[in-house]
């Protein structure tokens, strides 16, 4: 049960991985956008604008803007729903999958470093 974290572990991991995130990925993604991206790639499809908005407790324009930005980065893709052409289905992309994978690598790497440090220090 590796996810039963102690406070120092939880915050230490957040600290290390967030720092590395900024260093490697840069500022070109807000926390909201990151949450949206992770949800698209980790929760089962289909994903719609209103669904994402409800999930995060934000308004729809927030989702539209985030999809604009991330679509321009190639991280997601929009497709009209043919069964109800009012809907937009948000699709994953190869670049987006690579991005998420890279983020996972950062978290795992920083977690390993902390495990070593805590194992010897505390």
Partner DNA sequence: TCAGTATAATACGGTACCGAAACGAACCAG
Partner DNA sequence: CTGGTTCGTTTCGGTACCGTATTATACTGA
Summarize as ranges the residues that interact with DNA (CB under 7 A).
Answer: 26-27, 30, 32-33, 48-51, 58-69, 78, 83-88
From the CB of 83, what's the least distance to a second copy, in Å?
28
- Binding partner at 84 among DNA, a second copy, none, C-beta below 5 to 8 Å by kind: DNA
Q: Residues near 50 by Cβ (< 8 Å), separated by ≥ 6?
A: 60
Would the CA dihedral through 114, 118, 121, 122 be positive or negative? positive
For residue 88, give every residue at least 6 positions away whose Cβ sits within 8 Å of its Cβ, in sequence order, or none: 48, 49, 78, 79, 80, 81
93 binds, among a second copy, DNA, none (CB under 5 to 8 A by kind): none
102 binds, among a second copy, DNA, none (CB under 5 to 8 A by kind): none
């Amino acid at each position: 049960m590796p996810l039963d974290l102690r406070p120092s572990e939880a915050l230490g991991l957040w600290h290390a991985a967030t720092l590395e995130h900024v260093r490697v990925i840069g500022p070109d993604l807000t926390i909201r956008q990151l949450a949206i991206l992770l949800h698209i790639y980790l929760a089962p499809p289909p994903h719609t604008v209103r669904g994402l908005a409800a999930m995060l407790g934000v308004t729809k324009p927030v989702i539209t803007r985030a999809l604009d930005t991330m679509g321009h980065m190639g991280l997601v893709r929009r497709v009209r729903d043919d069964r109800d052409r009012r809907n937009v289905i948000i699709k994953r992309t190869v670049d987006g999958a690579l991005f998420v994978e890279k983020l996972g690598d950062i978290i795992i790497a920083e977690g390993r470093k902390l495990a070593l440090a805590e194992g010897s220090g505390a």
